[in-house]
Structure 1
Amino acid sequence: MKAISLGGRKSGRGGTLHVLGSDLAARIEAGETLLSAAVRGNIPFPHMCNVGECGTCKCRLVTGHIRLKRDISRHVTPEELSAGFVLACQSLAMSEDVAVEVPGMGRGRSTDPAPVQIDASVARVTPLAPGVLALEVDLAAEVRYVAGQVAQLTVPGAPGLGEPRCYSFAEAPARASPRRALFHVRHVPGGAFTDWLFAADRTGARLCFSGPHGGFRYHAADRPLLCVAGGTGLSPIKAILEQGIADGLACDVTLVVGARTQQDLYALDAITSLKERWRGRFAFVPVLSQEPEGSRWTGRKGHVTDYLCEVAAGHADRAAYVCGPPGMIDAVLDVLRGVIPPKHLHYDRFLDRGSAALGPSSAA
């Protein structure tokens, strides 16, 4: 039996959270979300933003009663809600016992690598563009992940840096050392982690690494690919395409990258390498929104949605992979919904302190 409500009072007593198909369980304190209880109880529950913006913690309520803290229709359709699907970060337990099914957890449900929490350190920091760094991290043990997934980083003992920040792996597992990870980090002014990282040479600094997390990845389909990236949203797209080369994919690809100016375009050598090694046709379309008038730029200007509006009808047969800030994601989905079937629309929102002020950041 299950019950989902947007009203009601908080439970006055605690209970137990059970993950079906496993022996995992955690104590739920009164007024606590399912996700908070899972994390506190060391259950490797998929999550990123903690505020209902990313949808990573979607699960299915099988037994028990919960109250939703907010509307979750951005990530859970009415049909899914009727079937019991909720976001764990927005679900307050209203009964003593709650049982959920979690994608990737439980017997026979997934072959994804299990998340680990290990010591790490900054191996190298390399500027990529104004306000963007490549962060290479040495890991205390080997880590397996799927291209498109994220890791969480914290700085032990540093004031204000104990909350995890999520960053996408910027390199395919096929190209990476199992004891080193690469991330692209954008400086978010006022973001505690990025202010710290950009302020000085942090080579050798201790970190805590948790991962992999997240469900963004390539989904096999007999379709050409439309990849749209804004800012450091390029990092998981790059990793997915690199993995595609390793796996021998030969479908056509259109990679659309949005940036403010030419200076903000980065990883151009890596994109050229992808284009040269890809087995099918590979089109790269950079779009600049704030390129000064009179510059020598001969490419497209405006926003990525301007380009997509022009070509959307011709991309109905594609599978789309979209990654970037929430505003860009929403605008792109508004263009592509009704053109590309929902099951072939895949996206990952990059949240920072400005867009997820109530919880840990995805890019700050």
Structure 2
Amino acid sequence: MGSERAAPIEVGETLLSAAVRGNIPFPQMCNVGECGACKCRLTRGQLRLKKDISRHVTPEELSAGFVLACQSLAESEEVVVEVPGTARGRSADPAPVRTDARITRVTPLAPGILEVEVGLAAEVRYAAGQYAQLTVPGVPGLSEPRCYSFAEAPDRTSPRRALFHVRHVPGGAFTGWLFAAGRAGARLRFSGPHGSFRYHEAERPLLCVAAGTGLSPIKAILEQGISDGLARDVTLVLGARTQQDLYALDAVAAIEERWRGRFAFVPVLSQEPEGSSWTGRMGHVTDILREAAVAHAGCAAYLCGPPGMIDAALDVLRGRIQPEHLHHDRFLDRGSVALAASAGA
């Protein structure tokens, strides 16, 4: 049962580096210990950590053998780890598909946010919550993959189609190219699915927290929950700067209408100008979480968005929600990754 793969590793090499060189599918995004995607559990061998990983691995998890593969240096000639999706006793995730793709539609959703529909040359099966990597062949500076979460639940009738929500990153090479002109028809290279973020079955209410385009994988997970007949109470907290930054509200309303169970939607704005028409909550998502900490104690939490929001939300929720019910996906742009890499150099 499960999947077992082996690759040579040298003493002093990171687990992730050896896995990539050995063509072993391994959840990863940043390679500098910022995203937490490469968390795995050591079952045999010796490792040395390159830096503190407590932002992603609790002391209890560390005692149980959990580490980040990108920050774990081999200190023995044999190292055995369990990787989410490939561990013995559960079926392995399919290997990522690498295929040609083409942008079929680009739709503005809000200032600085586009919905990008992509047609694929091969069928791709993914779980709601996972992400894909995109590159633009033939365009200087865009050969390095950019990671975007699938923005809708899988459509089994259209496995050659994918949808993404893309935020314009100031100075970002890929988003600068995408937003500069109409890109419908442009060729891409696609790799996916990647990542272990997804719904985990638990008899618990759901607390979903998103900021910016962190809404996209949360939206996909909730849409999948509707298809699967999931009946759980849900609280969705969505953080944005101003009203104009809120997007996909029609999609959220459609989910709320179809959801089997109580559905509470709480948008909160941090920089809405005084005197505007906004009558909803002001502040940050953590303000909402602190107010309702006791109510959320029995939930399973799913957090998506920029690292600062994720870390602040985890600080509030840790100790109230068990670690095994805290699931998160940090959204890192390449500038953030480069900054983290230089800081750790």
State how 1:247-326 maps to structure 2 within 5 Å: 247-326=228-307
1:41 is the counterpart of 2:26 = no
Residues 22 and 305 of structure 1, relative CA distance in 2, 3 Å threshold:
closer
| Greater Cα shift, 87-96 or 215-224 | 87-96
After superposition, the C-alpha distances for 1:71-106 in whole angstroms (9 at most, x for unaligned) are 112222334334433211112334444333322225
CA distance in 2, matches of 1:41, 1:295: 56
Corresponding residue of 2:328:
347
Q: Report Cα offsets for 1:141-175 as digits up to 9, x if no partner.
A: 11111111111111223222122111111000147
User: Aligned runs of 1:143-182 on 2, under 5 Å?
Assistant: 143-174=124-155, 177-182=158-163
Q: Which moved more, 1:232-241 or 1:275-284?
A: 275-284
Answer with 132-141 or 343-352: which moved more.
343-352
- Secondary structure in 2 matching 1:25: coil
User: Letter of the aligned partner of 2:47 in structure 1?
Assistant: I
Distance 1:237 1:21, change over 3 A: closer
Q: What displacement does 1:208 show?
A: 1.5
Answering whether residue 190 of structure 2 is matched by residue 209 of structure 1, we say yes
- Identify the range of structure 1 (111-120 vs 255-264) with the bigger mean alpha-carbon deviation: 111-120
**What does 1:77-92 align with in structure 2 at a 5 Å threshold?**
77-92=58-73
Question: TM-score scaled by structure 1?
Answer: 0.87
- The corresponding residue for 1:221 is 202
Q: Deviations over 1:97-152 (max 9, x none)?
A: 43333222255433433322222121111111111011111111111111111111
Q: Measure the CA separation in 2 of the matches of 1:187 and 1:65.
A: 42
Determine if contact 2:304/2:330 at 8 Å carries over to the other structure: yes
Structure 2 CA distance for aligned equivalents of residues 143 and 79 of structure 1:
36
- Aligned partners of 2:252, 2:229: CA distance in 1, in Å? 17
Partners of 2:63 and 2:316 in 1: CA distance? 27
**Is 1:110 equivalent to 2:119 in the alignment?**
no
Moved more, 112-121 or 74-83: 74-83
Q: For residue 5 of structure 2, what is the aligned residue in structure 1?
A: 24
Percent identity of the aligned residues?
Answer: 80
Q: Does 1:243 align with 2:224?
A: yes
Residues 288/204 of structure 1: CA separation in 2 closer, same or farther (3 Å cut): same
In structure 2, how many angstroms separate the alpha carbons of the residues matched to 1:215 and 1:23?
Answer: 17
Hey, what does 1:185 align to over in structure 2?
A: 166
CA 1:308–1:176 in 2, change beyond 3 Å: closer, same or farther? farther
For 1:197 and 1:308, locate their aligned partners in 2 and report how far apart those are by CA, in whole Å. 35
Q: Which amino acid aligns with 2:108?
A: P
Give 1:139's aligned residue: 120
Structure 1 residues 139 and 44 mapped into 2: Cα distance closer, same or farther (>3 Å)? same
- 1:30-69 to structure 2, matched below 5 A, reads 32-69=13-50
2:82 & 2:298 partners in 1: Cα distance?
A: 33
What amino acid does structure 1 have at the position aligned with 2:98?
Answer: Q
User: Where do residues 328-343 of structure 1 align in structure 2 (5 Å cutoff)?
Assistant: 328-343=309-324
Unaligned runs of 5+ in 2: none
Alpha-carbon distance in 2 for matches of 1:70, 1:92: 10
Write the letter of the residue equivalent to 1:264: D
Asked whether the equivalents of residues 225 and 253 of structure 1 are also in contact (C-alpha less than 8 Å), the reply is yes
Kept in 1: contact 2:117–2:162 (CA 8 A): yes
Letter in 2 for 1:330: D
Structure 1 residues without counterparts, runs of 5 or longer: 1-19
Number of corresponding residues? 341
Aligned to 1:190, the other structure's residue is in SS state coil
Q: Are 2:2 and 2:91, in contact at CA under 8 Å, matched by a contact in 1?
A: no
The whole-number CA distance in structure 2 between the counterparts of 1:39 and 1:29 is: 13
Give secondary structure in 2 for the equivalent of 1:357.
Answer: helix
Alpha carbons of 1:175 and 1:273: their partners in 2 closer, same or farther (altered >3 Å)?
Answer: farther
Give, in whole Å, the separation in 2 of the partners of 1:60 and 1:307.
33
**How far did 1:335 drift?**
1.7
Cα–Cα, structure 1 residues 85 and 345, in superposed 2: closer, same or farther, change >3 Å?
Answer: closer
Aligned equivalents of 1:93 and 1:342: distance in 2?
26
Between 175-184 and 267-276, the greater mean CA deviation after superposition: 175-184
Question: Using the alignment, how far apart are the partners of 2:270 and 2:327 within structure 1?
Answer: 24
